[in-house]
Chain A
């Protein structure tokens, strides 16, 4: 990797500053998302911004996109040439393409807006223009088929081509937000080729990612955010993986921060052989009563699919699937609940709750039978008493069970979701991102609830993108990569550093 500034073709001064961020700060209630972050981007430069979930990457992008306004600091664009101002173009993770339309149409979407909407366009000229744009970034492909049928990398290139279409000069800024999440390794190479070409033409590129290995390969400079602060801003040359991991985690390499003391475990609650479905390509899993098993892995590794496969809300096959010693191969959510499985999904709003119903109605929804007696129907008094007990136990604020679920804060919503599943002492508790979007106080309370559930004899599966959380909660952690178990960490080897390394496939010694 070279850090020298490539000369731009149209004679523009190489290395001119395109973007200058000084002391950027953003506060959310109870949480400072960005704290005095400064960043400079020069023409022809690729800067990678890395960090964990919640480190402030998304907040930074959203401020640059104008979604959020900052609470302090300045963002300045290149001013030297008022005739050709620098523009910021952002490609979000989902690319924002209309998958039923073809590449030509997708590239033209921005053009259809405004006064020109009524002017007929030339089909052939448009097609040639689209093909030309795309061929700038590697091998051409069919621009007339719906983009939904193209490979993910090709879709990324269409998004880049669209962002670039209509640039009056090359000295603009392109921000790519987690662009490689959906891509395979070979496709990543195609995308990187495109990005490098762009930078060689004089654009400034900010590349947001949490795949550390890729970043070192692509970027000229690496900026690491942690808890909203910039903790490193270094040339990618000579930076090694260990240093990068220690920047990201905040734990110095070699400094051990091991997992918790082993819990007493009992009978096998869950025993699965060769589970396959969605992103998972064959996983064996055993969980004992009282044991907390973590699942780590980057997005797309299968981490976020696993609990749904076990719960039965997504179809999956397995050679063997035993719950508390009984075979359970044909799964469905209702049957899983009947057999004593609880599932806290990662998407609280869409899957974990029914937001317009009250707290009480949400908590009792999975099991109304136990509150029902004969023709009298649901016993309102018993239901209220039971929910009041749970609300007190999990310290839900405000303690009002008739309040609509959506009106609680994130942390209290999640407490209610926990209350809903812990109400009937599940045998197996499946947790997906259990503390996503909750404040620090609620987080500790939820950790306590998970500890208690395990102590009460539940087997717990925790899938989380937060290494620190897994280290705090789990007896052992399975690290997934490409839908398979890449490593299993427990005891002294269960550290944040090791988890991050294994997750990114950076482990030096061949674990397992």
Chain B
């Protein structure tokens, strides 16, 4: 077991544990912090897969900007364990059973797929570097890039319109 595999298992366990703790923790602030742990672990996976640019963007955009926005809203509303709405127990059990059966079905369906020779290559390749991604982005994907700027503008206008007091 070399260092890459050790890191893979460590990051996978960190991601799944963080996700489960995010769902079950009662305090919303703790949920946000556990979700940041999950995003850090996923960024580590990106680095292991040599997608360095996406790893940094994931850290900056998700763990940095989006989660700070979530934390800001949670603290603005002064949410804590006492104000946390609770579902009744049967609905919770039904939700867990539904998620578990989805997991079971997907794993059972994918377990028999013949993927033994397909490797996600690690420690090789430079398609994740910003140079190559930038060339592809500004040659082949200029139109979607410009459209996404329009999307951001409309999101900004939408937030201002929604957030305005009547």
Partners in one complex: no
- Report B's interface with A, CB cutoff 8 A: none
